[in-house]
Amino acid sequence: MRVQRSYVRTRLLCAMRPGARYRLQLYVRADYPGLFDSAGIQFSPYDILCNKKPPRELNADLYFRNAEQKAARSGWTRLTYTFKARGDEGYLVIGNFRKLDWSSSLGGAAERYQVYIDSISLNPMDPYERLCPDWRKQRDTIYSEDYRHNYQIRYTYSCSRKPPQPVVLPPSVQVRVDTVIVPDILFATNSADLDKKALLLLDSLMRRIPPDGLDSIVVEGHTDNIGKPEANQELSEARARSVGRYLEYGQSIPIRTRGWGATRPVADNRAPGGRRTNRRVEIYLFLRDRVP
């Protein structure tokens, strides 16, 4: 019995940034664990379906055996890799990269020599890197590539005779964070109601941001340490929600709010000026910068 080489292949949604670090995670299972020694993952600018090399001449960038492994339920193993991107990655391929073919000496049922794969994820380590703006269009294009049966054979034959150019993917988006402080004096005393000066400040803030330049907003409320902790926590949350609700008008981006009470002071609460500084709402604006 000869074990056939099979490959799982997909095009990536967006380009990875050269030199940036990414985390790849997947779950695998096999009744014959020795298959993990030669199974691996390849990143390539070319479609493996158009490859002219014999399978034994292909090399993996990441081998299962070198991953950080953690046992999961029902015989599954979670594999985790952290790696640095080249920048030309267009396709991800998972398969058998053994230099020699498996021989009939293996014996037994063929299904023993299958590798099962589930829950694949690829994420940037940089929390400020986002998907490319048209990732949904890229996803729909990938889903439309229904290469099966005779059509796949014709496609493979055609593109292997005249291999296509390396795929060029749209760049990801890098966000930077700007912070705006809404001081306590712009709220009614012990209230989450914004006064007119606060509304003018928020309106001016949003007018300065390009329409497509905002990725998301986080609003955090803070108080001083005067009063009961429970009341301070409630007031900080209410003020953050009040600012967040006002910013939602005309925006189609995620806006998250949270309150910290008196747990995150930035000044000395023993002095009146310090307490005044600690009573604040912080607005974090995550702004998009297109990666070249």
pLDDT in tens, 45-61: 988 777 777 777 788 99
CA distance 201 to 266: 22
Residue-number span of the structural domain to which 147 is assigned:
7-161
Last residue of a domain, one of 161, 186, 201: 161
Q: Flag whether 113 is in a domain.
A: yes
Q: Flag whether 166 is in a domain.
A: no
Q: Examine the domain organization and report whether 137 and 178 are in the same domain.
A: no
- The mean pLDDT value for 251-271 works out to 92
Q: Flag whether 2 is in a domain.
A: no
Write the pLDDT tens digit of every residue in 60-113: 999 999 999 999 988 899 999 999 999 999 999 998 888 776 655 555 555 567
Size of the chain, expressed as the number of residues it contains: 292
Nearest one of 200, 182, 148 to 281, comparing CA atoms: 182
**Assessment of whether the complete model's pTM goes beyond 0.75:** no
Number of structural domains (the chain) is: 2
Q: Flag whether 28 is in a domain.
A: yes
CA distance 281 to 221: 4
Exposed e or buried b for every residue in 112-131, given b needs 16+ CB within 10 A? Answer: ebebebeebebebeeeebbe
Q: Flag whether 168 is in a domain.
A: no
Which pLDDT score, from 0 to 100, does residue 20 have? 93
Q: Examine the domain organization and report whether 90 and 181 are in the same domain.
A: no
Q: Can you give the CATH number for the domain in which 179 is found?
A: 3.30.1330.60
Last residue of a domain, one of 111, 136, 161: 161
Q: Name the average pLDDT for the chain.
A: 84
Write the pLDDT tens digit of every residue in 123-143: 999 988 888 888 889 899 888
Q: Flag whether 1 is in a domain.
A: no
Q: Examine the domain organization and report whether 179 and 269 are in the same domain.
A: yes
∠ CA(164), CA(121), CA(69), 5° rounding? 115
CA distance 198 to 80: 47
Q: What is the DSSP letter of 64?
A: G
Which residues on adjacent β-strands are paired with residue 21? 84
Q: Examine the domain organization and report whether 203 and 156 are in the same domain.
A: no
